[in-house]
Structure 1
Amino acid sequence: MGCDGGTIPKRHELVKGPKKVEKVDKDAELVAQWNYCALSQEILRRPIVACELGRLYNKDAVIEFLLDKSAEKALGKAASHIKSIKNVTELRLSDNPAWKGDKGNTKGDKHDDLQRARFICPVVGLEMNGRHRFCFLRSCGCVFSERALKEIKAEVCHTCGAAFQEDDVVVLNGTREDVQVLKSRMEERRLRAKLGKKVKKPKAAEAASKPDVGEESAGPSNVKSGRPEEAGLDAREKRISPAPRGAAGASSSGRAGRPPCAAAKRPPAASGESEAYKSLFTSHSSAKRSREESAHWVTHTSYCF
């Protein structure tokens, strides 16, 4: 029962059993999540952004994805929840001084330490290599380890001092349970934003339909009186000074065409006053001089002014 050459086959070569389940290398999975963009599968480089579900992207890859309006988008499922650039937050990462990159491995004969990471936690000093849980704040974009937030409890950021709430904390590359919690928060946040826009629209329409409301209620005295015309007339009457006696007599005589001060403008010669009173005015005959009495030069007297 031999084959060509006298070989004897074994049982596993003739009988095929069930296929073994391929196990994913955890180290390779961590390297892919923390060192490569989830959208373009390129190495992460600054500026690095994170979505509301805690995935890491290159900012230029997100911009290209948003500008691409074609139906077939490569790897679009990883960023299908990103509708605009406002849905991502630019991260403020702290460099790891012990990380040298690929500078010393030019020949390929050096061991790459996968535990080394490009970034670390600025508070505790843990490396962001996937072995420890990291999170970022949506309000400012600073990245910390979860241990730092638990050990140093505060309502402000440890780096920049910006205030934040519990909903602003987003876990980076979390588990399925973490992603479900973040997804529910994202949906609630977007629903509140839509309701806020709907409330603002009718208010803006009401303000546009009533532009003169502020002008009518500008003066507090007009609002109290209820009749702005009467209030304006009263103010005008108070400003007018009392009329002279001559004006009062003229107004009482019933002459509506003449102003009340018409009697005061009559020349003194026409009035029945004494000659001494008439001589005070320039219209009197004593104030008029003949050519012989007047000088041949010009003099400045009170009559010239």
Structure 2
Amino acid sequence: MGCDGGTIPKRHELVKGPKKVEKVDKNAELAAKWKYCALSQEKLRRPIVSCELGRLYNKDAIIEYLLDKSAERPNTEVVSHIRGIKDIKELNLTDNPEWEGERRSTKGDRYEDIHCGMFICPVVGLEMNGKHRFCYLQTCGCVFSDRALKEVKAEICHKCGEPFKDDTIVVLNGTKEEVEKLREKMEDKRAKSKSNKKKSKKNKAAETVCAASESKEDTQSPPVDVAGRSSVEKGSESNQSVEDGPSGSSTSSKASATKRSIQVTDGKSEVFKSLFTTHSSAKRSKDQTSNWVTHTPYHF
């Protein structure tokens, strides 16, 4: 059985089978992640920032999104976790000397290497084109390849010298599993910060209450009696009197001991006692004493 012109059709031309799944070009996918902004889909240009999940953005696009979140923009679900400017970090990138960018001829007569990246690792020299794993430090924002961090192990940044920890390393454009781990880490960090803020607020409230109660106690003075003594002083005097005894014998004995004359003390010579005015030789009779005459120089 033939068709017009004597052609014989084949089975795949007559029977429709299932559609083949379209495969995404890996080169196009890598270029979309490493050369274009994840929010505005424009080419990446300095200043370039990254979120806690490791996506790359133009800083201008993020600022416009934060200023007006109600505006209709594509890919808004990509930045739904960004609450403010503190949730992003500006990256300190190293330019690739072989990258020509817009200086390249646009006539189409030259070969364009799509795997050539705009930036490189300052330690190893690998290009940041998606074929190699890259990370950035949340403390300073410097970007390095994962190979450089593993081979040259240090606790300070290789570029700026600022100290960092392993918890502050974020993978750029990681796999789905790595993004999920970064999301869990981000949520735990935000939960801890919220709990710390609540504790600090409670401590501040308790401190203010204590300060207010202390100020009230200071302003309230103790009652004062007619003699001008406070009740606290009177209470201390009464306690002291109770300890000394009801008759106050201890105080009188102390006073008598201190007022004892030097003339009565034993063991002192008569010459020593005559030095004091309490000695009998120092006393005068009435005949020896003179009469003092007082007069005023004023005459009225």
Amino acid at match of 2:149: L
Shift of 1:96: 0.9
Alignment correspondent of 2:269: none
Q: TM (normalized to structure 1)? A: 0.68
| Contact 1:167–1:185 (CA under 8 A) maintained in structure 2 | no
Identity, % of aligned positions: 60
Alignment correspondent of 1:126: 126
| Contact 1:96–1:127 (CA under 8 A) maintained in structure 2 | yes
Amino acid at match of 1:115: H
Show the 5 A alignment for 1:62-73: 62-70=62-70, 72-73=72-73
2-structure distance, mates of 1:171, 1:13: 49
2-structure distance, mates of 1:205, 1:88: 32
Shift of 1:93: 0.4
SS at 1:141 equivalent: coil
2-structure distance, mates of 1:116, 1:34: 11
Shift of 1:193: 0.8
1:227-260 CA-partner distances (Å, limit 9, x unpaired): 9x97xxxxxxxxxxxxxxxxxxxxxxxxxxxxxx
SS at 2:103 equivalent: coil
Structure 2 stretches lacking a partner, 5+ long: 219-229, 234-291
Alignment correspondent of 2:185: 185
1:124-180 CA-partner distances (Å, limit 9, x unpaired): 111111111100001111101111111111111111121211110000011122112
SS at 2:136 equivalent: strand
Shift of 1:14: 0.9
2-structure distance, mates of 1:5, 1:40: 55
1-structure distance, mates of 2:132, 2:152: 17
Alignment correspondent of 1:141: 141
| Contact 1:135–1:143 (CA under 8 A) maintained in structure 2 | yes
Structure 1 stretches lacking a partner, 5+ long: 219-226, 231-271, 279-283, 287-305
Q: TM (normalized to structure 2)? A: 0.69
Show the 5 A alignment for 1:29-44: 29-44=29-44
Shift of 1:206: 2.2
1-structure distance, mates of 2:14, 2:99: 51
1-structure distance, mates of 2:103, 2:71: 41
Q: Does 1:74 align with 2:70?
A: no
Amino acid at match of 2:64: E
Amino acid at match of 2:17: G
Alignment correspondent of 2:205: 205
Taking a change above 3 Å as real, the CA distance of residues 131 and 273 of structure 1, as seen in their structure-2 partners, is farther
2-structure distance, mates of 1:217, 1:171: 58
Alignment correspondent of 2:168: 168
Q: How many equivalent pairs are there?
A: 230
Alignment correspondent of 1:194: 194
Show the 5 A alignment for 1:80-119: 80-119=80-119
SS at 1:102 equivalent: helix
Amino acid at match of 2:170: V
